[in-house]
């Protein structure tokens, strides 16, 4: 039985390009982001992968990325579940703020703590720990059981919602996961055993 789980961070968004804290705001992909998403689909097609089901967030940049990948795979009509449990981390009061402006206002060290600590949230927002506390129960209840029954699943989501999943899958420490960089539009191909443990992982980043 093939227990396949593919995770993909959305392609570059308009706010990624502008260096803004995006969180739950809903910008679309840039031209580069569209190209990244299409390229991700081509990589999966070259591996001759097909999917039984897809999951994504309620945010446009993830949904658009998924749609572009599925078009390359010839699976435009794939059953897809959209849920805010897979949304990006909420950046609260600094959402929409330029990252350089935030450093000027709050100081480099404070902004670094908000961005890269595991359990310290920005004002009014979520830490990575809090993000994981909504992502992982959803994964364990909705996604993992389908993978374990042999369905091939693709998830298009966001840097921090995917970090939550990767931390759990790869059994990483908080320090290890906050240091983990995820390229936009780069699929991670996991194969799991009957208990949901990772047998192999392939990073399709260039």
CA distance 32 to 37: 9
Asked if 88 is an active-site residue, the reply is yes
- Residues recorded for the chain: 206
Considering the candidates 64, 88, 126, 158, report the single residue annotated as catalytic.
88
Burial (CB count within 10 angstroms: exposed 0-12, middle 13-18, buried 19+), residue 13: buried
- Distance of alpha carbon 190 from alpha carbon 197, whole angstroms: 10
> Of these residues, 10, 72, 126, 158, which one is catalytic?
10
CA–CA gap between residue 160 and residue 169 (Å, rounded): 14
Other beta carbons within 10 Å of 42? 13
- As annotated, the active-site residues are 10, 88
């Amino acid at each position: 039985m093939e227990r396949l789980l593919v995770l993909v961070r959305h392609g570059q968004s308009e706010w990624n390009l502008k260096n803004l804290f995006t969180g739950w705001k809903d910008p679309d992909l840039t031209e580069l982001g569209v190209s990244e998403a299409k390229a991700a689909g081509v990589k999966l097609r070259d591996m001759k992968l097909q999917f039984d089901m897809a999951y994504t967030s309620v945010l446009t940049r993830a949904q658009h990325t998924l749609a572009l990948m599925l078009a390359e795979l010839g699976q435009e009509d794939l059953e897809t579940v959209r849920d805010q449990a897979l949304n990006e981390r909420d950046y609260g009061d600094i959402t929409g703020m330029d990252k350089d402006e935030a450093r000027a206002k709050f100081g480099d060290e404070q902004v670094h703590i908000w961005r890269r600590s595991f359990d310290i949230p920005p004002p009014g927002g979520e830490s990575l720990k809090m993000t994981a506390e909504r992502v992982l129960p959803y994964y364990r209840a909705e996604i993992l059981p389908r993978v374990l029954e042999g369905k091939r699943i693709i998830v298009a989501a966001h840097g921090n919602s995917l970090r939550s999943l990767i931390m759990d899958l790869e059994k990483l420490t908080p320090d290890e996961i906050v240091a983990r960089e995820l390229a936009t539009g780069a699929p991670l191909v996991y194969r799991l055993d009957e208990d949901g443990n990772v047998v192999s992982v392939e990073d399709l980043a260039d």
